[in-house]
Structure 1
Amino acid sequence: MITINSVFKYFDGERIRIIDIIEEYVYLVNIDAVTSMPRKELIKTINEEIDAEKLIAIKDPFARIINESDLSKIQIYKRDEDWNFISKYWEVNKNEILEKNSRNNILEKTSNSSNLSLSKVKKIFSRYWQRGMNKNSLLPDYINSGGKGKEKKLSDNKVGRPKRADYNGDIVQGINITDDIKKHFEIAINKYYRNKNKISLKETYTLILRDFYSDGYKENNEIRHKVWDKSRIPTYDQFYYWFKKSQDIKKDIIFRESGKEFDLKYRHLTSNSTIETDGPGTRFQIDATIADIYIVSALNRERIIGRPIVYAIIDVFSRLITGIYVGLEGPSWIGAMMALDNMLSDKVEFCEKYDIQIIEQQWPAKHLPDIIIADRGEFEGYSPENLINNLNIKIENTSPYRGDLKGIVERNFRTLNEKVKHKTPGAIQKEFRKRGDQDYRLDATLTLEEFTKIYINIVLHHNNKIIEKYPIEKTMIEDEVVPTPSNLWYWGIENKKGRLKTVNKEILRLNVLPKGKASISRAGIRFKGLSYSSEKAIREQWFVKPTGRSISIVYDPRNINKIYIPYDNGLGYDECYLMEASCQYKNCILEEIIFNQELLLELKAKSLREQNQINIDLDDEIEKIVKEAKKEKQQAISYEQSKNKKLKGIKNNRSVEKEVNRVAEAFHLGEEIISDKKEAIIIELPVASKKDETTKFTGKARLMEKLKKKRDENREK
């Protein structure tokens, strides 16, 4: 409720006092300014700001009980003098002073009438309005007055347990926690405590005192705050008691951490994954982790190649691990694809590749599930429509950072890392090493194949280990089922519906490989800048009259030698092989091909400036030669011959030019002998008989004679 003399604080820090209410308007002043004149606001506006918590009611910072005996004579004299001024001029001129249009005139008249400066008049009125509109509000240096160091008497008795005496032997009663103070607490908790900064309750309490229980002042052009006397502020114990009494734990965690963090670590657990299944194959969970161990290259054990990626697929009902992948791919769809491929593999054959002998009962899984639970990490950048549409496998993606929704496979990874940490060299022992500690990466010893053997043995151990907290059904107890994953798998197949399916491994691979678009041209089937062909394309003459159409293909980015064109709704495929024009990329992975293509583009771009300069130089040279030729032609132009005659003489001119060129281009063997001094010696040919006049000339002389003869013949014609 808005009343005269009530004090409020805006969320941005400004504190105001209501000094009057007239009809639908309120008049207020800023209580922290040096001088503050009234400003006019609608009551409706103030109420809206209060409802929106932009404006908060606070305790009057100037409300004190002051004994006259505690005041000095000079304080009393100055107070009474200013009070007489207020009594004389305030009430009679209130309406004019409150209104901005008439305020300056009335203040100037008041200054003339009272023989006080205008600034002094404004200062007295401001102090009166700001500090409570009572006689003691006019005390000079109010903050430092009132009996410094003496205990103040309280207007109300403190409720609750009496306070202990402080170190001076004085008992401070404190204040009662009113609804307004609770409102201050709530605002500060929402503003400071419930956010990502994660400040402590102690810091929050300090900020409450700064915002609501202190006076602001300037010092060295900086805003400082002076906390009120301890008898006028709530204690930290009072704040802590209120906080614990009204604490919303869920809200605090969500605002300080995140909703995902609450769901992951603090939500109530009222269910388990097994309830969501009705037998083996209903749901498989797939997840990946980076193993806590460094491994070495099989080519050179001195080379450390980092940490391997481990994928696991687990049946939710039985907890049986149905597929794994240990490698360097991922976490990505390629790694998940390898795990799905292993899911369909015969595990006896798979283990034989690593010299591990098992029987089928130890690892019986080689089936497709009804639902695969994954997260965005496994299926990032991949659209699983093929799995959904062609193999009828549903995909359920968990929310980001919700590993708890795949808790079964997550626990398996924890077991793996615990075994690795205590048994194998190169394992990560602790996240942060101290100076002088041995770098565990240098201890790396196992190759990828050896680490895979270890993980296979861990999987076999898991599949035949008793699950301590498995929710055993009544019928399982009746059938005396020991809750190991392999036992639960077989029991579920016999007694539950389950959703296990089988499919040809080639069909699965065709449906899990990445998809792409290829184009058909005369150069072949073009994909990623490479050319492919196939028996079907040649038989149907795709390249004879290409239509420029594109086709859908699937490919393995680890080996780009072949791509596949699916047909029959993904149940068959046409195999395309790399053509000779692209054989330089044989046995390359897709990333290497893309890298080489990008490198070529960079090299071309790098030499573009040089190429441009070469082109410009060529144009300049051509223009130079043409210019010289035009100059020569201009000098040789004969105006005696008509244009028609020049055109008719092309054939004869060509014959003459041909003979001249033949003489100039002819090889003359033995005419030049290089001496020791490297000087050319011209050897004269034998002199011809006098009867043959054409043979008496040699070299240049003979050539010139022929030219003269031809010229004479042309003139006679």
Structure 2
Amino acid sequence: MPSRSIFENQVIEWISSETDDRAVERILWISQANDVVFSIALEDDKAFPVMKTYTEFIAGIEANLCKPIDWINSNIPLLEQFIDHEHLLLRDKAWDAIKDVVSDEPDCFDKKWRGVRVREVQEKTGLHKSTIYRYLRRFWQGGKLKNALLPHYYNCGDYGTDRAPGKAKRGRPRKFEDGPTGINIDEETKQLLRSGIRLFYNNKEKAPLKHAYQKTLEKFFATGFRQDGKALVPILPPPDKLPTFGQYRYWFKKELDLEDSLRSRLGKKQYALKYRPILGSSTHESFGPGSRFQIDATVADVFLVSEYRRDWIIGRPIIYIVIDVFSRYIVGLYIGLEGPSWVGAMMALANTTMDKVRFCAQYGIDIEPEEWICSHLPQKLTADRGELEGHKPSHLIDVLGVDVENASPYRADWKGIVEQQFRLINLRSIRFIPGAIKERQRERGERDYRLDAKLTLREFTQIMIRNVLYHNNHHHMQWYDRNEFMIADDILPIPRELWQWGIINRNGRLKKQPEHIVKLNLMYHGEATVTAAGMQFKGMHYGCDLALREQWFVKARAGKTWRVQVCYDPRSTDEIYLWLDEGHRFEPCTLLEREERYMNKRFEEVEDLLEIEKYQGRHQEINNMLSKIELDAHTKAIVEEAAKKTDEAMNQNQESSNQRIKGTRQHRSNEKMLNREREAFKLSDQPQVPNIPANNVIPMRREDSDDRKAPSYIPPADKLSKIKAYMIEDGEEE
């Protein structure tokens, strides 16, 4: 065999060295002796098979006059499921006509023999001779493939090129001649249609295409306006001078930029959330366990009842989940009634560093340490902008060394792993719990889900812990993309196995901190003022053993006050925590006994109370001032009247100043005696007691002694005359 060879169905390109013209032909058949070759030209619509010698091709290849090339006819589909049924019927009809002809090789390549067989096919099928030859040519030029006989509709018109508008109306004729036929769309009209789509369809109003079509006609095709009352009504040309809605829709679909349209109508964020291409994987964002945690919260679709009275419905709980991106291992959990906020996130993050055996024991669940391993902090934490935005997580970043990344608003897909867990938990357990919300919208007359609530918060937490244990230890993630090293180590895509494999092979990302240090840095921070009355914080006063030992309150009273750093849990005013040794130690400070009205309260409640009292104080100042003005007015009136009377009496008596002062003691005694008489209790002046029946009267025993007779009554005027006489006798009155 020659060093170079050709094969059946191979495409050979011949190049002329003088004119650079090319001729492309396909090898149809090669004799067993490699001497005769039949081929057909591919770029000739009237070509037929021709006979050549094998050595002719080999010599041409060796002399670089021809060469084998790849010839791909993209118009011949290879998968039948994408071919229309009508096209398949036409293909099978053509194949039935020529299959007996092309099966006889190499006789079918002979012109005379082929002519005889074509006439037989004509008589049998009734097809025209040119049609049969066209089928044969398509079959041979198409590589002797049956699908080469599919109809070549792509040859209808100039594919991909718009026809130039002329006088004749383009497009499919209308069924009814009296209907609007539209106009030929030229480049200027197309530009108007594009402008209408951009202005009235690709915008945030999300108007339907029909509305955009109407507004386009009003703006770009109106010839003027007419006055109709106070309204200006656009004047449009006759319907046969306007593009129809079908034409508008055709050019809209033909030139549609789907991405630009979705961005314009929905906004960049909604487009990125719902329609952006999903080409990446969250797993590739993390190197190993602890590289990145995701945290998020949701309101559980179930109603709960109270721990204290089971007939009280307390609403829906909040679920916080912290999950490792690399292994899908759930590392933190919080179930409570604290709405999605920093407090809920604080509890979930604190749970990531907590001993899980002790945590589960609080809810009556006994586990082995390897069933829930994690008690660490991550290198990076992805969260919503709500809980972990602002100054609150500053200690989480600066002190604990966790890099916080906040997702953009309305971009839940940035933390899709933890979002997916909420869906899985709902499918596994929540939807089957009494009180669960089955549908967002209840049918009319359907029973209220809230009335079916049976579980308390503690019982629901037990169920959620069981869900986490199942997920971490048994959930087989068939969709997880294991890398080649995991496959080599035969690691199953189960979160615990992925976590343990990552700890061994890709460690160095997890961070370990004492639980109390983590909690201190997660709590709210503030400054308390050391005063003589205690450490004042948010209007309340606290004390601690350290302050008493070091005489802080004595020093504050003797000198100046100063501030100290504290942290606190906003849910309880009973304790705050004093930072010591630059945050390495803490001292609990308890609320003083005199502040008992603030015990067992939230800080927000105390702040509200103090604000209310401050407001009431400001409001009462006005009332106090008005009452004081009224008091001063009455006092002034009484003083003026008393001064007038006193001045009149002084003018009548004409006593000197010395005389007035000299008799002060005696005047006081006289005044006292008069006051005693006036102030004495006299029950005879009160209403009489009703008569008591005679049989209930107890007679009083009379004293026989004459010395105990009641003194006779002396009128006050006689007393005053006796006092004056006594005063004259003593020389005090002239």
Tell me the TM-score normalised to structure 1 length: 0.70
User: How far apart in 1 are the matches of 2:575 and 2:276?
Assistant: 50
Q: Quick check: 1:515 aligned with 2:525?
A: yes
One-letter identity of the residue aligned with 1:488: L
Shift of 1:486: 0.6
Unaligned runs of 5+ in 2: 1-163, 690-707
Mean Cα displacement is larger for which, 201-210 or 159-168?
A: 159-168
Select the residue among 633, 643, 647 that pairs with 1:634: 647
Select the residue among 279, 283, 301 that pairs with 2:288: 279
Give 1:60's aligned residue: none
Shift of 1:639: 9.2
User: How far apart in 2 are the matches of 1:546 and 1:560?
Assistant: 28
Q: Quick check: 1:540 aligned with 2:551?
A: yes
Give 1:484's aligned residue: 494
Shift of 1:533: 1.7
Structure 2 matches for 1:658-697, cutoff 5 A? 658-666=668-676, 674=684, 678=688, 686=711
One-letter identity of the residue aligned with 1:451: F
Give 1:615's aligned residue: 628
Structure 2 matches for 1:39-58, cutoff 5 A? none
Identity of aligned residues (%): 36
Select the residue among 597, 602, 617 that pairs with 1:589: 602
8 A contact 2:182–2:241 mirrored in 1 = no
User: How far apart in 1 are the matches of 2:731 and 2:380?
Assistant: 99
8 A contact 2:169–2:184 mirrored in 1 = no
Q: Quick check: 1:344 aligned with 2:361?
A: no
User: How far apart in 2 are the matches of 1:221 and 1:662?
Assistant: 96
Report the CA distance shift for 1:173/1:222 in structure 2 as closer, same or farther (over 3 A).
closer
Q: Give 3-state SS (helix, strand or coil) of 2:294's partner.
A: strand
User: How far apart in 1 are the matches of 2:648 and 2:485?
Assistant: 117
One-letter identity of the residue aligned with 2:590: Y
Give 1:706's aligned residue: 723
8 A contact 1:560–1:589 mirrored in 2 = yes
Shift of 1:193: 1.3
The CA RMSD over aligned residues, in Å, is 3.1
Structure 2 matches for 1:292-691, cutoff 5 A? 292-380=301-389, 382-464=391-473, 465-538=475-548, 539-542=550-553, 543-545=556-558, 547-601=560-614, 603-604=616-617, 611-638=624-651, 646=657, 648=658, 652-666=662-676, 674=684, 678=688, 686=711
Select the residue among 207, 212, 216 that pairs with 2:215: 207
8 A contact 1:281–1:369 mirrored in 2 = yes
Larger radius of gyration: 2
User: How far apart in 2 are the matches of 1:278 and 1:439?
Assistant: 47
Unaligned runs of 5+ in 1: 1-154, 688-695
Shift of 1:612: 4.6
Shift of 1:528: 2.1
8 A contact 2:384–2:407 mirrored in 1 = yes
Shift of 1:282: 1.4
Select the residue among 188, 191, 195 that pairs with 1:187: 195
Report the CA distance shift for 1:578/1:708 in structure 2 as closer, same or farther (over 3 A).
farther
Structure 2 matches for 1:261-280, cutoff 5 A? 261-280=270-289
Mean Cα displacement is larger for which, 481-490 or 669-678?
A: 669-678
Shift of 1:707: 4.8
Structure 2 matches for 1:141-152, cutoff 5 A? none
Shift of 1:166: 5.2
8 A contact 1:188–1:207 mirrored in 2 = yes
Select the residue among 222, 225, 241 that pairs with 2:234: 225
Structure 2 matches for 1:86-101, cutoff 5 A? none
Report the CA distance shift for 1:452/1:674 in structure 2 as closer, same or farther (over 3 A).
same
Shift of 1:189: 2.2
Report the CA distance shift for 1:653/1:379 in structure 2 as closer, same or farther (over 3 A).
farther
User: How far apart in 1 are the matches of 2:596 and 2:623?
Assistant: 30
Q: Give 3-state SS (helix, strand or coil) of 1:280's partner.
A: coil
Shift of 1:587: 1.4
One-letter identity of the residue aligned with 1:572: R
Give 2:206's aligned residue: 198
Q: Give 3-state SS (helix, strand or coil) of 1:355's partner.
A: coil
User: How far apart in 1 are the matches of 2:299 and 2:226?
Assistant: 57
Shift of 1:168: 3.8
User: How far apart in 2 are the matches of 1:705 and 1:298?
Assistant: 84
Q: Give 3-state SS (helix, strand or coil) of 2:501's partner.
A: helix
Give 2:118's aligned residue: none
8 A contact 1:520–1:546 mirrored in 2 = no
User: How far apart in 1 are the matches of 2:728 and 2:534?
Assistant: 61
Shift of 1:521: 2.7
Report the CA distance shift for 1:453/1:655 in structure 2 as closer, same or farther (over 3 A).
same
Tell me the TM-score normalised to structure 2 length: 0.69
User: How far apart in 1 are the matches of 2:676 and 2:472?
Assistant: 92
